[in-house]
Each structure stands twice: as C-alpha cells, then as structure tokens.
Structure 1
Amino acid sequence: MTADPTAWEQSSVMRVVPPLQPRKLAKVPFVELADGRLQGVVSSGSDIGRVYVSSIATGTHAYNCSTNNNRPCGGLLGAPCKHLRSLVDEAVVQYGADRVARYLRVEGEGITSGSELVSRLAGQHEPAPAAVVFSRFLRHLAYLELPVTTAPLAELHWFPASGAVR
C-alpha cells in the first residue's frame, strides 16, 4: 500500500527542508532565508537572557545586528559582528554554502564556508527592524509546544483548502 503523497495537506505538521547537517541550536536557534535577507536570532555570548536579531540583505549585503529591543550591537564596528558571522555559519550548515551565496547574490565561485562567504560581502551597516524576525522566531517556538495532530489549527484555518476556489 502506497502512502498518500498529499496527506500532509490534511495535517497540522508542515514539511520542512531538512538541514544539510545537524545544527546546534543553542547559539543560533533561528535562521531563515526570507524577505530578501538572511536573517535569524543569535544568542548573546555574555548574557543568557539576551538575543540578537541579525540580518544581511540580498544583493546590497547591508547588514544589521540589534537586540530584540532594537538596541544596536556593540560589535558593529565597520564590519559584521560575531553574531552575524555565527548567523552565516549556521545558515551554511542549514542550507549549504552554495544556496546561501546564491540567495545573497555573493560574487565568486567555490564558496565552501561561512567565513569565506562573509569575507566576500561588500555591504555596510544599515539599520533594519528586528521585530518581524523576532516575532517569527517566537511563533516557531509556539508551534513546537503544540501536540502533533491532524486537526486544523484555528489561526491557520483561514488558509484555503487545496483546490478550493472562491
């Protein structure tokens, strides 16, 4: 008997592209390629209660790093800080160096590591809002606390069913 390939459409569980390698979530618990940026949440190295929202824009490579309260990172001294470097390293683990480089439109061939990718960025610091990224991170955490079920989630119920036309 063959499993129904569309069964996931009736489930509260979403298919996720698996990481290329297992990631350590303590340092960078959230990383995504979205909204024209590589963006994510990076834990502070000095304060367990603080996180940074870091991002690098596609094409321009404008970068930003600030706390979830929009306070600028003290490590942004004319170059990407250690939070941005950690974000790129984990994005490479999650998506692969080629995919991250293509998404950011980084010039050059043969990028194999996060540090190599960061060295080819040509952007400068440009403030970017942290609230949207941090909010998405919190939303992902909330979904992790839900039990697995095939019943619809009330907040996602407004999505139309497959094939439905209105």
Structure 2
Amino acid sequence: MNADPTAWERRSVTLVVPPVQPRKLAKVPFVELADGRLQGVVSSGSDIGRVYVSFIAAGTHGFSCSTNNNRPCGGLHSSPCKHLQALAAEAIVQYGAGRVARYLRVDGADSVESGHDLIGRLNGGPEQGAAAVVFSRFLRHLSYLELPATSAPLAELHWFPSTGAVR
C-alpha cells in the first residue's frame, strides 16, 4: 500500500492514537496528557449531575481535584482522592503505564504497573488548579461528537496555517 503520508494535513480530522485497552467512559469520560499534566474529568459517584476536574502535574506531582464549578473535593487532603486514583487508572488504560509514568516523570517509570502503583510514587501535594480550562477542553471535545463526519475543513479550525499554496 502506497499511502500519502501527508494526506492527513488536508483533512479536518487526524489520526488518533488508539487506546492501549478499550475504556469505559462512564466513570472517567475525559483523560489526557496535556499542558504538563495528566488531567481529566471524573464522574461523581453520588450525584449524576456532578463531575470533578482533576489533574496531576508532571515533575512536581502537585495535584488538584474540584467540581466543575470550582468547589474543592471533600476527599482531597495531603494525598490524592478517589477521583485522582480513578483518573490515573483510566490514563493507564488509555495510554499505558509506562507512557503515563514517563510523562509525569515518576521515579522508576518503567516499572509502574497500575494506577495504584502510580499514585503511590507521587511525591507532591495539593495545589491550586485550572479546573475551568480542563472542563472547557472536555466540553469542546463533546461538541465535536455532535458534528457529522466529513473531510471538509471545520470553520473554527480554518485559521490554522496550511502547508499548501498561498491564496
């Protein structure tokens, strides 16, 4: 097969790295390695209308968890809460233990096997987080799911520079 390696540059969609394992999205609908953090959205176990925005910073291992309207998580103290533990576990399902641990710069990254193991190797503490930014990214991803499939450019992404000829 002689596929054009630059064909993705002419589409409004791009290849997505497939998950290491299939993920169930009910508990952790959004997880990403971005902005120097493992970050995502975790559903509340007690209230269907509440979600928690959680992150673990790479390097410092500072962590944060709050509701989508910036109320602090009641389980967050000097160690990560159950939402952060769920986020770490789902990140490992999505990206693989080694990749997540290396991204977070955890000591002995290549020997991390589970979310619990990863959480146990963190050496940071609670810190203030940018919940609104992560939650907005989650909502933006949800809005893309409502669009019909197309190879035409998306108007809101049309401002990205093109490698084609200048018009």
Contact 1:58 1:103 in 2 (8 A): yes
Q: In structure 2, do the counterparts of structure 1 residues 164 and 36 end up closer, same or farther at CA, with 3 Å as the change threshold?
A: farther
Q: Secondary structure at the match of 1:78?
A: coil
Q: How many residues align structurally?
A: 166
> Does residue 62 in structure 1 map to residue 49 in structure 2?
no
State the match for 1:41 in structure 2. 41
> What's the offset of the Cα at 1:10?
1.9
Structure 1 CA distance, aligned partners of 2:141 and 2:68?
16
> For 1:155-166, what aligned pairs fall within 5 Å after superposition?
155-163=156-164
Q: Secondary structure at the match of 1:66?
A: strand
The code of the aligned residue for 1:59 comes to G
Provide, for residues 116-145 of structure 1, a one-character-per-residue CA deviation record: whole Å limited to 9, x for no partner. Answer: 010011110111110000000000000111
The code of the aligned residue for 1:29 comes to P
Instruction: Kindly report the root-mean-square deviation, in angstroms, between the aligned alpha carbons of the 2 structures.
Output: 1.6
Q: Secondary structure at the match of 1:103?
A: helix
Structure 1, unmatched stretches of 5+, are none
> What's the offset of the Cα at 1:165?
7.2
> For 1:8-157, what aligned pairs fall within 5 Å after superposition?
8-108=8-108, 109-157=110-158
Contact 1:68 1:134 in 2 (8 A): yes
Provide, for residues 32-81 of structure 1, a one-character-per-residue CA deviation record: whole Å limited to 9, x for no partner. Answer: 11111100000000000000000000111000000111110000122100
> What's the offset of the Cα at 1:164?
5.3
Structure 2 CA distance, aligned partners of 1:114 and 1:78?
18
Contact 1:41 1:54 in 2 (8 A): yes
Contact 1:13 1:148 in 2 (8 A): no
Provide, for residues 3-29 of structure 1, a one-character-per-residue CA deviation record: whole Å limited to 9, x for no partner. Answer: 433222222222111100000100001
Contact 1:36 1:58 in 2 (8 A): yes
Provide, for residues 83-122 of structure 1, a one-character-per-residue CA deviation record: whole Å limited to 9, x for no partner. Answer: 0000000000011110111011110241111100100111
Structure 1 CA distance, aligned partners of 2:33 and 2:111?
20
TM-score by length of 2: 0.94
Contact 1:12 1:148 in 2 (8 A): no
Q: Secondary structure at the match of 1:101?
A: helix
